[in-house]
Chain A
């Protein structure tokens, strides 16, 4: 039984340029993957590749252009308002910006209490539950009376996590939850994510541009480039990635020992192309060191090359 199944998900934005010209930006362009209960999928990619949009589409915080998001057997992408609300109990999200995720005019206790109030937890029980939730994420329950600007970045992200956990979700979409934090705090928060995952058998869709952060938390990793998934592989197999893009990303993770640093040249040259006008054939071919003539004309499909290892590349046999 799959917890979440995404099939051919598409999100196009229309950008107006000048008076009459319109461009279609293909933020997410046909993405499919699935997630088992308790499993964590890391979603990696450069900025602007559509990974955050994908996360928001799964909760239907944005309306998908096409495709299906099947969560616990219900298609979130097309279901009614009531059903959606009911499904979101088990489907929560934590955003990158811990500060703007909290209403500056409400105490953090009120923010954590909100989902409980929405789903009819009696007021007498809410106070105790909020205290428990704050303790769960490693905060002093007394912090409930504080305002977001009175907390540190790490504390704020803990509050966001407490709010996401309030309804006992099965899947939490984590949209770069540690990217805005100081490096010193990052490890602590990642550790918290891991503990909570094990304790409540949570699934995460862990979105990040930091392959190192993802590999310490994820069971499987999906690599996204310009709105498409290039490779899905088990996290422990990252060093044996087959797609040239994944391999370049993996090389760019700094090894702990500086003497082993093979090269200092950039792993991938150049900027990602404009998603309004993606390259023909394989989207990665203009930046790919192995690109051949075929890559310029034909778009590779995502196919399984080994159990649980999927690649979209012509050059992988």
Chain B
């Protein structure tokens, strides 16, 4: 409630849209990103993958879950451009629909991670005291376990399924964000502009929404971009172990698992989804690195 009101009040007559401000700045983050060829390549690759995922029904030549047992493990043909898998399903169609599943689940998991990590990190950093202690000790406990193993346990307990995998990943993944954000909030809240805002009557919510959040956001964007790659890997990994996407859902990690018994007779079953995962993760990493350099040239340590 208070949040919305503050956001509205903040949008005063001197506010400028982010793009407008950047244009005046000359050497804006976008201008720096455009000069970074690798980051641009990552951006282009991702745009293509996202477009493919969105337009999957129009691009896929076949139904991704339709079984054609007469053409099992078929080589590429006009009907099946990349051949078929062990159940005669079109590999290309499954890859195309798999982009939807893999990107979609990773994005949803990341949203959940941000929804947990951002408020908790800001709360810990801004409030301090016992709130900070409570949240950070919880973070310490979670960090004491290897993340993926813990996610494996949670997902295993909840039962297989994409939703449970997302849930499990979000529950272990938010801690890194909470930590990073808490640290930045601690630094920003001592800045004079926050003191000046307090002195001129800005409420706590106003300070968090208008002064603290915008100033901690850019490292979070970088971290989130890099983590998209890691989340896709984690989801694929859990699916490969049979916990994530359940058959017949086309998901890249699950496809790897499906193709595993045929590695020697039909390596394309594992090769193509593997290449897809690699490309997308690489693209996210390139873009993330570029964003980091573009948003803050002073930041030299790798997040």
Contacts and interface: CB of A to CB of B under 8 A. Distances in A.
A85 B192 CA distance: 18
A146 B21 CA distance: 8
A92 B200 contact: yes
A103 interface: yes
Interface in A75-113: 85, 88-89, 91-93, 95, 97, 100-113
Given A107-B16, A113-B14, A126-B12, A95 B195 contact: yes
Nearest to A128: B13
Interface residues of A, number: 45
Interface stretch (B209-217, B230-238, B258-266): B209-217
B14 A109 contact: yes
B14 A104 contact: no
B201 A160 contact: no
Given A105-B214, A109-B14, A118 B206 contact: yes
A100 B12 contact: no
Contacts of A166: 200
A220 interface: no
A17 interface: no
Nearest to B190: A100
Interface string B21-61: 10011000000000000000000000000000000000000
A256 B83 CA distance: 91
A214 B214 CA distance: 37
A127 interface: yes
Contact of A123 (B12, B202, B211): B12
A130 interface: yes
B10 to A, nearest CB: 8
26 contacts: A59-B199, A61-B198, A61-B199, A88-B201, A95-B192, A95-B195, A97-B192, A101-B192, A101-B193, A103-B211, A103-B215, A106-B15, A107-B14, A110-B14, A114-B200, A115-B200, A117-B9, A118-B202, A123-B12, A123-B13, A126-B13, A127-B13, A147-B24, A150-B25, A163-B200, A167-B200
